[in-house]
Structure 1
Amino acid sequence: MKRLNTEWGELESLVLTDMSDVFISNLTIQRQHFPNDDDQTGAAKALMRLQDTYQLDTNTISTGDLPGSSSAASQQTALTVDDCYDLGKVAYSEADYYHTELWMVQALKQLDQGETSSTVDTVTILDYLSYSVYQQGDLERALEFTKRLLELDATHQRANGNLKYFEYQLAKQKKVEKREEGEAAEGRQRRETRGRPDDYLPERRKYEQLCRGEGIRMTPRRQSRLFCRYYDNSRHPRYVIGPVKQEDEWDSPRIVRYHDIVSDKEMEKIKELAKPRLRRATISNPVTGVLETAHYRISKSAWLGAYEHPVVDEINQRIQDITGLDVTTAEDLQVANYGVGGQYEPHFDFGRKDEPDAFEELGTGNRIATWLLYMSDVQAGGATVFTDVRAAVWPRKGTAVFWYNLYPSGEGDYRTRHAACPVLVGNKWVSNKWIHERGQEFRRRCSLQETD
Structure 2
Amino acid sequence: MASWCWSSLVLCLLLTSSSAHDDFFTSISKMTDLLFTEKDLLTSLKNYIQAEEKKLEQIKTWADKLEVLSAAATQDPEGFLGHPVNAFKLIKRLNTEWAEQESLVLSDMSDVFVSNLTVHRQNFPDSDDETGAAKALMRLQDTYQLDTDAIATGHLPGSSSNRGSLTVSDCFDIGRVAYSEDDYYHMQLWMIQALKQLDQGETSSSVDAITVLDYLSYSLYQQGELERALQLTKRLLELDPTDERATKNQKYYEHQLSNQKGAEEGAESARRPKVATHNVPDDFLPVMWSYEELCRGEGVSMLQRAGVHEAKSVDYRISKNAWLREHEHPVVDKINQRIEDITGLDMSTAEHLQVANYGVGGQYEPHYDFGPEDKSEEFGRRIATWLLYMSDVQAGGATVFTDVRVAVKPIKGTAVFWYNLYASGEGDDRTRHAACPVLVGSKWVSNKWIHERGQEFRRRCGLRKTD
5+ long unaligned stretches in structure 2:
1-23, 26-30, 50-106
Partner of 1:206: 290
Tell me if 1:196 matches 2:285.
no
**Shift in Å at residue 314 of structure 1?**
1.1
Which of 70, 75, 80 is matched with 2:167 structurally? 80
Matches of 1:111 and 1:22 in 2, distance apart? 38
Q: Which residue of 2 aligns with 1:402?
A: 417
Task: For residue 102 of structure 1, report the CA deviation from its aligned partner.
Answer: 0.2
**Offset, 1:161:** 1.1
Match of 2:335 in 1: 315
Deviation digits for residues 226-274 of structure 1 (CA, Å, limit 9, x no counterpart): 8x7xxxxxxxxxxxxxxxx556575x42xxxxxxxxxxxxxxxxxxxxx
Q: Which residue of 1 aligns with 2:238?
A: 151
CA-CA distance at 1:24 after TM superposition: 2.2
Cα shift at 1:21: 2.9
**What SS class does the counterpart of residue 95 from structure 1 fall into?**
coil
- The percent of aligned pairs where both chains have the same amino acid is 69
Query: Secondary structure, in 3 states, of the residue corresponding to 1:69?
Result: coil
What is the rounded CA distance, in whole Å, between the counterparts of 2:344 and 2:227 in structure 1?
66
1:69 aligns with 2:69: no
Q: What is the correspondence of 1:332-347 to structure 2 with a 5 Å cutoff? A: 332-347=352-367
| Residue 432 of structure 2, aligned match among 400, 403, 417 | 417
* 1:216 equivalent in structure 2: 300
Number of the residue aligned with 1:281: none
1:442 corresponds to 2:435: no
Output the TM-score relative to the length of structure 1: 0.76
CA distance in 1, matches of 2:259, 2:462: 68
Q: Distance in 2 between matches of 1:388 and 1:130?
A: 41
SS in 2 for 1:335: strand
What are the superposed Cα offsets for residues 120-179 of structure 1, whole Å, 9 maximum, x if unpaired?
000000000011111111111111111111111111121111111111111111xx34xx
RMSD: 2.7
How many residues align? The count is 369
Where 1:110 maps in the other structure, the secondary structure is: helix
In 1, distance between residues paired with 2:367 and 2:440?
Answer: 23
User: In the aligned structure 2, how far is the partner of 1:29 from the partner of 1:351?
Assistant: 44
TM-score (normalised: structure 2): 0.74
Alpha-carbon distance between aligned partners in 2 of 1:33 and 1:211, rounded to the nearest angstrom = 34
In the alignment, is the contact (CA less than 8 A) between 1:69 and 1:379 conserved in 2?
A: yes
Q: 1:306–1:332: 8 Å Cα contact kept in structure 2?
A: yes
Paired residue secondary structure (2:366): strand
Corresponding residue of 1:43: 133
Following the alignment from structure 2 to structure 1, what is the Cα–Cα distance between the partners of residues 456 and 342?
Answer: 17
| 8 Å CA contact retained: 1:96, 1:197 | no
Q: Structure 1 residues 79, 195: closer, same or farther in 2, change over 3 A?
A: same
Q: Report the AA paired with residue 382 of structure 1.
A: G
Given that 1:380 and 1:426 are in contact with CA atoms closer than 8 Å, whether structure 2 keeps it comes out as yes
Aligned 8 A contact 1:249 1:393 in 2: no
Q: In 2, are the aligned partners of 1:64 and 1:73 still within 8 Å (CA)?
A: no
Say which structure is richer in helix: 2
Deviation at 1:185, TM superposition (A): 7.3
- 2:318 counterpart of 1:298: yes
Asked if the contact 2:223–2:267 (Cα under 8 Å) also holds between the matched residues in 1, the reply is: no
Q: Do 2:390 and 2:412's aligned partners in 1 also have CA atoms closer than 8 Å? A: yes
Q: AA paired with 2:256? A: Q
1:371 paired with 2:458, answer no
Q: CA deviation at 1:336?
A: 0.2
Does the residue aligned with 1:158 lie in a helix, a strand or coil? helix
Higher relative contact order (CA 8 A, sep 6+): 2
1:28 to 2:106 alignment: no
